[in-house]
Amino acid sequence: MKEFQLIDEVMPDAPPADQARVMAVRARMLSDGRRHRLPAWSRVALTAAAVSVVLVGGFIAAPLLGGPGTQTATALGPAAVLEAAADRLAARPPGTGAWWRRELVQVLRSKAMYGFTVEQRVEEVLWVNREGEQRTERGDVSAKPLTPADEQVWKDSGSPKLCEPSDDCQIGRFYFSPVDQVKPVANLPTDPEALKAELLKHFPVSGKENKEAWLWAVANWLLLNTESTPGTRAALYRMLADLPSARVTDGVTDPDGRTGVALMYGGPNALGQIVIDRDSGDLLALQDEQVPANGLDDVGTFNSYVVKQLGWTDEAPGSD
């Protein structure tokens, strides 16, 4: 029996939280960080925030709210930011050229033995031509302690090797459920509902997979590893934003410090993020955080595919 269990068991519990209110509090807290000029918290402001959370077709529109004297006129909720970015992306032509080229840096951060965090990086270029032929170029992996504090702990620990000698500093790829039958991806619908219906034709009937998780994984693959058109990419954003378990958050940053609006899926212990440029709708990064359920300030990993460039080009593999 834990200490004072009797008190925990006998005393009344708090009523369940209203999720709309929780999201309003969350948005308010984060918007405070972006503006630095909000007045002190007040019950009036909280009430306003709670009332102003609007659920529209699965989007969580949580406007950045403030009290008197704050700038709110131009602030858009994350869902509106994503919607506008998707509009701009969808308006872009598919592009010309013989090869589709995607350049990224995979960044993996994990806590090593002795408690310091190591960051490993590797560059990868994927080429796909109009016939569907693929080539992948992958560079050497670099590894270093993440921060000066990590470096100090590393040195204090006798500067141990940063990678396991057995794996020669290789880092694993996350594989996003390729669905070969959906090819050619260039012909996929540009309407989110039609796209979802088309993708779900390939949902495994026999398996016990969660439909949303499956759609999330397939969308990750289509965005990162295929030559899907701007229209289909925009539809993927909208399809994911519409999933009941997904949410849209503004102000998410990739390891290179680029900030965008993000689609989020999962919980605090395993959170997938698709970070999107607010203006162009370009994919900035696909990220995945794993945090152990018990000690949140304990070991975990953070993996990000930081997209440098993506699209059709006149270049060819080996020509750069």
Partner 1 sequence: MTMSLDGAVADPERFATVFDAHYEEIRRYVGRRLDIDIAEDLAAETFLIAFRRRGSFDAAKGTIRAWLYGIATHLIGRHRRAELRRYRALARSASPAADDGHDQRVVDRVAAGVTVQKLSAALAGLSRGERDVVLLVAYGELTYEEVAAALDVAYGTVASRLSRARTKLRDALGVEV
Residues in contact with partner 1 by CB under 8 A are: 2-15, 17, 21-22, 25-26, 28-30, 32-34, 41, 43, 46, 109-111, 117, 146-147, 150, 249, 251-253, 255, 259, 267-268, 271, 289-291, 296-302
- What distances in angstroms separate CA 216 from CA 133, 213, 299, one per listed residue? 25, 5, 25
Element (H, E) at 315: none
Instruction: Report, in Å, the least distance between residue 110 CB and partner 1.
Output: 7
Distance of closest approach, residue 8 Cβ to partner 1, in angstroms: 5
**For partner 1, the closer CB: 197 or 296:** 296
Q: How far is the CB of 6 from partner 1 (least distance, A)?
A: 5
> What minimum distance in Å lies between the beta carbon of 222 and partner 1?
26
Identify which of residues 65 and 222 has a Cβ nearer to partner 1 in the complex. 65
Cβ closest to partner 1, residue 76 vs residue 186: 76
CA dihedral sign of residues 234, 235, 237, 242 = positive
- Report CA Rg, the chain: 22
Comparing CB distances to partner 1, the nearer of 160 and 267 is 267
Sequence letter at residue 271 = L
Nearer to partner 1, 10 or 113 (CB): 10
Rounded CA separation 318/278 (Å): 33
Residue 262 Cβ, how far from partner 1 at the closest point, in Å?
10
SS (H, E, C) 121-189: EEEEEEEEECCCCEEEEECCCEEEECCHHHHHHHHHCCCCCCCCHHHCCCCCCCCCCCCHHHCCHHHCC
Which residues face 116 on adjacent strands?
Answer: none
